[in-house]
Structure 1
């Protein structure tokens, strides 16, 4: 079977992507070492964990150096920002959000390019609606997602043997979303948001697209149904 590495696989959308790809791929489950990551590996028999802090470049390089070929790389790890205006956002917040959401993805992609070229592989970036527009209080997060979009577009232009897909979902029903809504001071209604399984199915569908087609950008918006 083909091999897929998924970052942010411990929970939420990343875990659902792993479940969606498990029937067709051998999985490498990337994430910080945790009981959730270990439990998912047990659930998905035959999968392996890749416990690493993506922002630790030395540890990241060591963790993937043995990967000689890779069919699919799914970037799903990410953090939200503090929802403050630019005037109130300290430099540490900018650095943290950009480091996790953009720089780590760029570095992991760079490290795995030889393995992806070996298979004419597929790279999927789970982006966000914030990668296409900016709302007040979301500027650092949007900057990281606009950057992720540029990373995908640049990779697609520079590596014509690879397929590169950006997924732009609207807000998703996850633990992270619950935290965001609490900070916004609103009541949480999961029906307002996309289901993680829906985003995962979209990722799996893009990967399963026959090789004569290149799915580049996919936008998902919640319908409230």
Structure 2
């Protein structure tokens, strides 16, 4: 078995896209899976020989301490996120606050805490964004706004940190619990064949991570086959 010498930290790996990313990266990286402690996260970590890092992206005060022991990091994948389906008039300030804390402020705080380790490794940062971070759809007001902000942060990081390679990945709708909730809000019938598989997005992450060092992928847009959604 090949010895894994590179380190990757993935957020939101307890299920869905994050768990698929852990599986895709496991053959090549020593994995750190960051998130709130849960049985699901522990199961994913055990399955792929990963280490869990207790982390709450909504509590920025404890993020620096949670990753203080990392001196080098080759890959940081920001996957964790929340969404509250609803049009502007249906949303609440509390929902907007939580959405931005988890989807924007948390990733910013984690990136800042890990900048020395990423610089030391000349590492990569991958943001799992969304099609909603490029085009706004009805019923995704706070989520879309947070994803636009996350893209702007990724673009700024790419410009300001020339030692790093920074990529935003914008999937269309993916077969996850979040999408089931959104379809239920829309009053539609859920058909998983109309959505991307989490493993498809994970393979895109693995391909970006495997880009030779003379290449820098800035942005990837991937949609389900068929009508663009």
TM range (shorter): over 0.9
Matching residue of 1:8: 12
Q: d(CA) in 2 for partners of 1:84 and 1:49? A: 33
Matching residue of 1:19: 23
TM-score, normalised with respect to structure 2: 0.95
Counterparts of residues 20-99 of structure 1 (less than 5 Å) = 20-45=24-49, 47-81=50-84, 83-99=85-101
Counterparts of residues 130-149 of structure 1 (less than 5 Å) = 130-149=132-151
Contact 2:58–2:98, Cα closer than 8 Å, also in 1? no
Range with greater deviation from structure 2 (129-138 or 112-121)? 129-138
* Count, aligned residues: 223
The runs of 5 or more residues in structure 2 that have no matched partner are none
Offset, 1:186: 1.0
Residue aligned with 1:105, SS = helix
Q: d(CA) in 1 for partners of 2:187 and 2:64? A: 40
Offset, 1:54: 1.2
Please list the CA deviations of residues 159-179 of structure 1 after superposition, one character each: whole Å capped at 9, or x if unmatched: 001000000000000122112
After superposing on structure 2, the runs of 4+ consecutive aligned residues of structure 1 that deviate more than 3 Å are none
Residue aligned with 1:66, SS = coil
Offset, 1:89: 1.7
Contact 1:7–1:74, Cα closer than 8 Å, also in 2? yes
1:108 maps to which of 98, 107, 110:
110
Range with greater deviation from structure 2 (84-93 or 22-31)? 84-93
The runs of 5 or more residues in structure 1 that have no matched partner are none
TM-align CA RMSD: 1.2
Residue aligned with 2:7, SS = strand
Offset, 1:224: 4.8
Residue aligned with 1:146, SS = helix
Range with greater deviation from structure 2 (70-79 or 87-96)? 87-96
Q: d(CA) in 1 for partners of 2:46 and 2:91? A: 40
Q: d(CA) in 2 for partners of 1:22 and 1:185? A: 38
Offset, 1:59: 2.1
Offset, 1:92: 0.9
TM-score, normalised with respect to structure 1: 0.96
Contact 2:71–2:117, Cα closer than 8 Å, also in 1? yes
Residue aligned with 1:27, SS = strand
